Structure 1
Amino acid sequence: MKAMILAAGLGTRLRPLTDTLPKPLLPIGGTPLILWNLLLLRRHGITEVIINLHYLGHLIEKELGDGSRFGLRLSYSREPVILGTGGGIKQAEPFFNGEPFVVLNGDTLLELDLGTVVQFHEQRNALATMVLREDPDADRWGAVETNPQQCVVRIVGRGLSKGSQTAKRMFAGVHVMHPQLLKNVPTGQASSIIDAYVNAIQGGEVIMGYGMDGYWSDVGTPERYAQAQQDAEKGLITLRARQRS
């Protein structure tokens, strides 16, 4: 299985830290944020990864190269005009050769058994699986609702009409998806992947929600960045950035 890391964002909330350095290269425990995600993928046997680039993307490519020194094979999807999560994944679609793939947000830091997530996805023959986490502010930030069978039925209030009792959780920025999810995503236009999810749910497709309970951090503000630094120092993140000799 291949993967994609979304790394094209502007990082405006982290300025001035991101004035000269893209957010994915900000160090966490001495290791660039994006490398933590790449090592998570490698830990679970996913070594072919495409990264979308926009803001200061050349610095990301310069830092990571072809990925060989990390035991990876990296490709890049360059966006002269930023395409959002939907358009960005759509542009990279040929990389996946029609096969399911994993997507990670480049600005999240987490500990997760990706192998279990992929197995969960495959066993349920889902079009896509969204990794979800408990959050008391889920309604405030945009809840993802699942039914008792763990099928996603609404995202930010959009989807199927209210029926059975649902659980509300937050999207953790990790998904497993089949390229068929992208069939109605316009090529070369900025869009959100959430729109594709809502359309799929309304069309009767199976979108699953997988609940995680491990470490997770959205490194999107100076306060959360500082907290992630402290968490790394405390050993809450167990991956280690060892290069291959």
Structure 2
Amino acid sequence: MPDALMLFAAGLGTRMAPLTDTLPKPLIRVGGRPLIDHALSEADGAGITQVVVNLHYKPELIRDYLRMRRNIRFSRETETLLETGGGLKAALSLLGAGPVFTMNTDAVWFGRNPLEELRAAWLPDRMEALLALVHRDDATGYRGDGDFDLTRDGRLIRGGPYVYTGAQIIATGRVAAVRDDVFSLNPVWDAMAQDGKLFGTVHDGGFCDVGRPDAIALAEAQMALRGHV
């Protein structure tokens, strides 16, 4: 079973400007807590003790904020922003062998712990990646169309009513094999899907994409409605 988590915290946060002029997006406060704390609370709730955080934009601020958490290691993307695939590849030596959890740091989840849901649904003999999804109607703050549809056996195909929440389990063999240093996870997922190895599970709860300043109020309204702290 996966026992390590990669938190993506290196992005420039351009959609969150002007708040990100002075702070990296993971430190923007939602409900009185930095966004990265919401992700770390899910990790704590799932009993995950190995956490790697990648850093690029204003890295010293994130490192200083997290310095008291002894279970966190940092993958520094000093010169170039490596995107999701490249960032994960660069951190593999810290994450260890085997499948890992990954999670974005610009979201708030409601309901069941998404990492526990992923762990319960993970079937390593059948899957190379398992993505936590919500229906488009349950994706607060999300402006795009749906990302995926689900087949009857849980495999994913592109396009459909489900939105990726930013949490997954992924086997890292294909990621490690990519020759480029800078790349998205999307082509890796596409290759997995072609081989019938890309799966999804629907999150039992809500999700808020906190990628823009106006989404902060949306997330906080959902938190108040659901008694979320």
Letter in 2 for 1:141: D
RMSD of aligned C-alpha atoms?
2.2
Amino acid at match of 2:204: D
* Residue correspondence of structure 1 range 131-142 to structure 2 within 5 A: 131-135=132-136, 140-142=144-146
1:229 partner SS: helix
AA matched with 2:41: L
2:183 paired residue number: 191
Match of 2:212 in 1: 221
Flag the 1:124–1:216 CA change in 2: closer, same or farther, 3 A: farther
> Equivalents in 1 of 2:132, 2:226: separation in Å?
20
Structure 2 residue corresponding to 1:175, chosen from 165, 168, 177: 168
What does residue 94 of structure 2 align with?
A: 95
Q: CA deviation at 1:193?
A: 0.3
- CA offsets, 1:29-62, max 9 Å, x none? 2111101111110111001100011111110000
Q: Which residue of 1 aligns with 2:226?
A: 236
Note the C-alpha offset of 1:96: 2.5
Once the two structures are superposed, residues 56-85 of structure 1 have per-residue CA deviations (whole angstroms, 9 ceiling, x without a partner) of 1110000011513xxxx0001111210111
Equivalent position of 1:242 in the other structure: none
Unpaired segments ≥5 residues, structure 1: 157-166, 240-245
In 2, Cα distance between the equivalents of 1:237 and 1:57? 32
- In 2, distance between residues paired with 1:66 and 1:48? 15
CA contact (8 A) 1:181 1:197 kept: no
3-state SS of 1:13 partner: helix
User: Which consecutive unaligned segments of at least 5 residues does structure 2 have?
Assistant: none
- TM-score (norm. length: structure 2): 0.88
Give me the whole-angstrom Cα distance separating, in 2, the residues matched to 1:209 and 1:44: 19
**Aligned to 2:166, what secondary structure does the other structure show?**
strand
How far 1:230 moved relative to its partner? 3.0
Match in the other structure for 1:16: 18
Match of 2:149 in 1: 145
Matches within 5 A, 1:206-217: 206-217=197-208
> Could you say which residue in structure 2 is the equivalent of 1:155?
158
111-120 or 127-136, larger mean C-alpha shift? 111-120
**1:184–1:196: 8 Å Cα contact kept in structure 2?**
no
3-state SS in 2 of match to 1:8: coil
1:181 and 1:116 map into 2 onto residues whose CA distance is 24
Counterpart for residue 160 of structure 1: none
CA displacement at 1:127 relative to structure 2: 1.0
Give secondary structure in 2 for the equivalent of 1:55. Answer: coil
**TM-score calculated relative to the size of structure 1:** 0.83
Question: Highest Rg: 1 or 2?
Answer: 1
Q: Distance in 1 between matches of 2:46 and 2:58?
A: 29
Q: Shift in Å at residue 13 of structure 1? A: 1.5
Kindly tell me: are residues 222 and 143 of structure 1, through their superposed partners in 2, closer, same or farther at Cα, counting changes over 3 Å?
A: same
Say yes or no: does 1:5 pair with 2:7.
yes
Residue identity (%): 29
Pairwise CA distance, 1:125: 3.5
Deviates more, 1:135-144 or 1:117-126: 135-144
Q: Does 1:75 align with 2:73?
A: yes
Q: Does 1:107 align with 2:100?
A: no
SS at match of 1:122: coil
CA distance 1:174–1:149, change in 2 (3 Å): same
Q: Which amino acid aligns with 1:56?
A: K
Q: CA separation in 2, counterparts of 1:187 and 1:77?
A: 17
For residues 205 and 220 of structure 2, what CA distance do their matches in structure 1 show? 17
